[in-house]
Amino acid sequence: LNMAGMADDGSTYSTSVAFVFIFNLVVGAGALALPKGFNEAGIILGIVFLALMSFFAFITVTFIIEAMSIANAVLSVPHISKPLLSNVNSPVPKSINDDMEEPNFAIDQRVEIGEMAEIFLGNIGHKLFGLVMFLYLFGDLAIYGVFIPNSVKQVTPNGTSIGPIEISGDDIFYVYLGIFTVILFPFCCSNFQKTKYLQIITMAIRNISLFGMMIIVIIYISQGTFEPPKYLVNFDGFPALFGVSIYSFMCHHSLPGIITPINSKKRIFRLFGGDFFTIYLTYISLCVTAVLAFGLNTNPTCLPHPGPPCKIQDSYIFNFASYSEY
């Protein structure tokens, strides 16, 4: 499973560029579902649980980095470059250096997680891993395939015409889905090095959008519309929080494509720690401002024209449909 596109072209980038890549990879459309989960479970429970998710995500990142290092060592010694669990009864050398070349644990070769599964887990483990990744990535792509066309549809009139062709409100979703697919496909055939400038532009646009929403809400709150949170801790709402938070720091499947080209890996753990902490603060700021502004609102939906605000939507972006009233 090549999770980062084509084969590595040998180019590298700095840790600051890697910081951008990681931020873009982690912070996606799922961030817009967090405010509703926070509102259901309570601000305190949301802050604590998201901190735990950040911590566990960081720990598992270190696991994968260690596995990448060991995989590089295995592949650097031809004698052991085979599935390590293919024969549990095979003798294991007393030392990895017995009758072998000195292994190289430096992460110089990009070993994707699918290849690592083949090395460490054997044939059956590799196939099970492929099935799990297929299910995960299919669901992940399905989320974007629904969310992005539906978001664009919200700002499109119910009846749209392209020349002589009339497109109904429901059909326009599939038009946008087709456009999204055509635009997305070329990027599936590129690695992270070749999308460096696109990633930087994407991060700028994403941050402008996120912080723009926060600034609008802070202005809205400052006009005297502050509402105390509905809950501080509400375990009845924890399932909603769990569902939108569990993937909030997911980036592990693409780590080989991000880490291998970094030109200096001495501070790689500090890089991920700083990135995850920045992402955590971004999530918390977005959710807390949303809860304080709209947490007690009972209006079910925000209409796509100037009007009163509504309760926190499944996707927070739809709370700004009636932004003129703010």
Radius of gyration of the chain (CA): 23
DSSP 3-state assignment of 162?
A: strand
Amino acid in the structure at residue 194:
K
Instruction: For helices 43-76 and 268-294, give the axis angle rounded to 10 degrees.
Output: 160
Q: What is the pLDDT of residue 63?
A: 93
Give, for 166, the enclosing helix (H) or strand (E).
strand 165-167
The token pair at 34 is 């967090």
Written as one string, the DSSP assignment of 167-189 is: E-TTHHHHHHHHHHHHHHHHHHT
Other Cβ atoms within 10 Å of 71 Cβ, number: 24
Q: What is the pLDDT along the chain (326 residues), one digit of tens a residue?
A: 444 443 455 678 888 888 988 988 888 777 888 999 999 999 999 999 999 999 999 999 999 999 999 988 888 876 654 555 554 455 544 444 555 566 678 888 888 888 888 888 888 888 998 898 888 888 778 877 887 887 787 767 666 666 667 776 677 888 888 888 888 777 776 665 566 677 778 778 888 888 888 888 888 888 776 677 888 899 999 999 998 888 889 888 888 888 988 888 888 999 999 999 999 999 999 999 999 888 888 888 777 677 778 888 888 888 887 765 44
CB-side neighbour CA atoms (13 Å) of 314: 6
3-class SS letters over 217-228 = HHHHHHHHHCCC
pLDDT of residue 228: 79
Residue 273 makes CB contacts below 8 A (sequence gap 6+) with 58
Q: What is the pLDDT of residue 110?
A: 87
CA distances to 114, 143, 203, 241, 242 from 136, in Å: 14, 11, 24, 19, 17
Distance in angstroms (rounded) separating the CA atoms of residues 323 and 22: 31
**pTM for the predicted model, two decimal places:** 0.77
Query: What distances in angstroms separate CA 250 from CA 22, 115, 141, 291, one per listed residue?
Result: 10, 20, 14, 24
Are the beta carbons of 261 and 13 closer than 8 angstroms?
yes
Strand partners, 13: 262
pLDDT at 31: 86
| Residue 80 CA to its chain's centroid (Å) | 34
Residue 276, pLDDT score: 94
Q: Which pLDDT does position 271 carry in this prediction?
A: 92
What are the helix (H) ranges across the chain? 15-26, 34-41, 43-76, 113-154, 171-188, 196-220, 238-245, 255-259, 268-294
- Compute the distance between CA of residue 77 and CA of residue 81 in angstroms, rounded to an integer: 6
- Here the tokens at position 204 are 């700028």
pLDDT, position 253: 85
Predicted local distance difference test score (pLDDT) of residue 44: 93
Tokens of 35: 């405010």
Token pair 């299910």 in the structure block, residue: 135
Quick one: pLDDT at residue 54?
94
**How far is the C-alpha of 80 from the C-alpha of 90, rounded, in Å?**
12
